[in-house]
Structure 1
């Protein structure tokens, strides 16, 4: 991601100046005002850079990008009366800052009596951490917002009891003395169907404002809180998501409900129109969402051929399909297929054979189990990885190549060398089957 450091920096700044998140197309348009970044490059940055969380929506226009960081406030530093930390001499990996400074309302920062805790986000200790995370070029207010939505210990939780019951304060027995925020949970999650007619608060009310001000939060931060809480919800949901859950949401993984009927493809389906699976004459099907329905893409065989090539991130033609984001322009694209071959006995025909690749030393893609340019092979094959991937029981697979040991993360699709701390990308693509080959297989069975 080093080659896109300027784009990452700019995008982070835009997000933090826009309540911590932006719609995907909006962020791309904003970035284009400052640098020439193609749609393919932009999608690669958003999906691959750990600085960003991509929250999917029903349509591509609904996709949201949320700013992330691993930086947190040092709890030990805040608890010490003298403002000290046992690891302050360079070993502490967390920021040394006054919590109320982040809130924007430290009572010691405005009077004659100076605060014992640091208000300098660019102190020697803090700046080194910011530089390591490539956040040192952000403005102070951008950094503070980034911390607020990523460090879950800084803000009070949304009251769950308020969201239960029918009273003014829902089911919260503390009512106006509650130390949690009274906000509509569905509004925070972005799925409140009542809108302005909702009986729950979609903004901080007077009770909440008073409680938050007593905790030291400034009016500016309080005004941003409903949006910050929504970002916190997205970040928390992504962090708690099981590896198998996130894997099955990747663009390479076919949704079970969108599976092509194997019986229809190879001969006929006895359930006919009542079949819950998709009926199609090929073991793959490419569709684009026009805003209302999914329709077949033209040149489907050509798109499939390109998709099966791990070196390609998009298809050829005037309107290419981006395989990283599964989009054509700004329209969402999906690929349907028959079940994975590892889930059926070998005699089943027209199942989808998924192949697993790693990025070779020369930039080429090498299939697992096949010899590389030095005739070295890995101890695991595509079939081994596919079985592990579909089982969902493990997030990592260990392997050996030559004298070296590696670990494949099935969550972020990287192969790591634990000893040398290096990593290389992993890719999962199907084996290409032409239309003519499909017809030939059918005629022989």
Structure 2
């Protein structure tokens, strides 16, 4: 989040130094000790930055902020096929656990213990995590990478025996913790017959897996954060914040009829009246004002390789901010919702990041003339029907799954992933006028 990069880093460090989460007001109070950030700026940052998950409490305004990342350890690290990996960390899992036996003995570990190696530092810098220290980064990974920690045993939480319904009992490889405690809703408290902390037996098993005593001590809190992160990934959590600045005006769509010719509702129309099918605005603290030059802004945004505009005061397209000011892009309705003869609808194109770091449009041939089984149109239709949906994709002999939740394309077999991007097709001012003229002549 370009306008708040320092504040995001400081807040991330505070969360990861406090078992991975913190009460919202407490986080703001601690952050104020290190930087000057207003309540409005803080709320905007926590809402908009993908580094944070906001979990509502039982009372209004009683929220928890959980540290979040899409960064993962490379599951192929150490094998030949990991050579082309540019998205995931190459580091020893047991080093993250804090208890790698090779790192302490004469025999050196075959996996890297250097979090700031050339490969790792490039990825950390791209994810803006390079300023976190090792302990902070490791905790962030532990609660976000599902491959690092064993699951909480569901069978342990069923039945009335000492080990619940778990038939493996003391040999169970999963963690025996009260599920309701992990979810934060155990009504029995200290009187609960299920464990609210890791007992000696569980500690021994986890130590055998390589986890250090310091990590094991944090596990009940980490598992609670994992629960929140998992729940948020499967269903949208209710918003407990007041409306953010980009929601203060309900009109978010440009009127297609006004853009084409004229709108019969005139000033009573509930949509935005503007001469172009897109409109860039910045919030100055009081109201939304036009961003100029608008055509250049749109041209930059339509290029999937650009994460910010080329203006003197660039707009960050990933965070939609200009400095510390929120930015929004209004547009006409998506083209897939209207018949083909409708003009000046917004054509959204979908891209995935290719092997050479270039962006390839879905449905278009790559350098080897291979095409994906889905196109921009089919992806746009699926996206509008449900943004939490996942779409299966075939390219050649390989099968992938696209997740709209975090905008990644994953290969379930090889555990690899590629970034996915949604950008509109560019229409210049001249293109718009040409379309209008042609439409008038046709009618």
Aligned to 1:33: 33
Aligned to 1:378: 345
Which of 386, 392, 408 does residue 394 from structure 1 map onto? Answer: 386
Question: Would you say the 8 A contact 2:91–2:112 is kept in 1?
Answer: yes
Question: Would you say the 8 A contact 2:89–2:120 is kept in 1?
Answer: yes
Question: Would you say the 8 A contact 2:183–2:227 is kept in 1?
Answer: yes
Q: CA deviation at 1:61?
A: 4.8
**Whole-Å separation in 2 of the counterparts to 1:238 and 1:355:** 32
Q: Any runs of at least 4 consecutive aligned residues in structure 1 with deviations exceeding 2 A, and if so which?
A: 58-62, 83-88, 249-252, 306-311, 353-359, 361-369, 376-380, 391-396, 409-412
**Whole-Å separation in 2 of the counterparts to 1:96 and 1:190:** 34
Which of 113, 116, 121 does residue 122 from structure 1 map onto? Answer: 116
Aligned length: 296
| Runs of at least 5 residues in structure 1 that lack an aligned partner in the other structure | 78-82, 253-286, 288-305, 312-352, 370-375, 381-387, 397-408, 421-445
Q: CA deviation at 1:367?
A: 6.4
Aligned to 1:55: 55
The alpha-carbon distance between structure 1 residues 200 and 5, as it changes in their structure 2 partners (threshold 3 A), is same
Q: Give CA deviations for 1:350-406 in whole Å, capped at 9, x if unaligned.
A: xxx79899752633774646xxxxxx95359xxxxxxx99x984339xxxxxxxxxx
Counterpart check, 1:360 vs 2:355: no
The alpha-carbon distance between structure 1 residues 175 and 38, as it changes in their structure 2 partners (threshold 3 A), is same
Instruction: Tell me the SS of whatever aligns to 1:75.
Output: coil
Question: Would you say the 8 A contact 1:51–1:69 is kept in 2?
Answer: yes
**Whole-Å separation in 1 of the counterparts to 2:121 and 2:80:** 17
**Whole-Å separation in 1 of the counterparts to 2:74 and 2:215:** 21
Which of 98, 104, 112 does residue 110 from structure 1 map onto? Answer: 104
Counterpart check, 1:12 vs 2:12: yes
Counterpart check, 1:156 vs 2:150: yes
**Whole-Å separation in 2 of the counterparts to 1:149 and 1:60:** 26
Aligned to 2:413: none
Aligned to 1:86: 81
Instruction: Tell me the SS of whatever aligns to 1:53.
Output: strand
Instruction: Tell me the SS of whatever aligns to 2:53.
Output: strand
Aligned to 2:193: 199
| Runs of at least 5 residues in structure 2 that lack an aligned partner in the other structure | 253-269, 282-289, 292-327, 334-342, 348-379, 389-402, 407-420, 427-443
Question: Would you say the 8 A contact 2:56–2:62 is kept in 1?
Answer: yes
Counterpart check, 1:140 vs 2:146: no
Counterpart check, 1:417 vs 2:417: no
RMSD: 3.8
Q: Give CA deviations for 1:183-229 in whole Å, capped at 9, x if unaligned.
A: 00001011111111111100001111011011010000000000000
Question: Would you say the 8 A contact 1:23–1:61 is kept in 2?
Answer: no
The alpha-carbon distance between structure 1 residues 60 and 39, as it changes in their structure 2 partners (threshold 3 A), is farther
**Whole-Å separation in 1 of the counterparts to 2:30 and 2:230:** 26
Q: CA deviation at 1:57?
A: 1.5
Q: CA deviation at 1:70?
A: 1.2
The alpha-carbon distance between structure 1 residues 251 and 377, as it changes in their structure 2 partners (threshold 3 A), is farther
The alpha-carbon distance between structure 1 residues 85 and 149, as it changes in their structure 2 partners (threshold 3 A), is farther
Q: CA deviation at 1:125?
A: 0.6
TM-score by length of 1: 0.59
Q: Give CA deviations for 1:152-192 in whole Å, capped at 9, x if unaligned.
A: 11111100010001111111111111111000000101111
The alpha-carbon distance between structure 1 residues 358 and 221, as it changes in their structure 2 partners (threshold 3 A), is farther
* Aligned pairs for 1:27-426 within 5 A: 27-77=27-77, 83-88=78-83, 91-241=85-235, 245=236, 249-250=238-239, 307-308=248-249, 360=280, 362-363=290-291, 366=330, 368=332, 377-378=344-345, 393-395=385-387, 416-417=422-423
Instruction: Tell me the SS of whatever aligns to 1:86.
Output: helix
Q: Give CA deviations for 1:47-94 in whole Å, capped at 9, x if unaligned.
A: 1111111111222453111111111111111xxxxx344343x64311
Question: Would you say the 8 A contact 1:53–1:66 is kept in 2?
Answer: yes
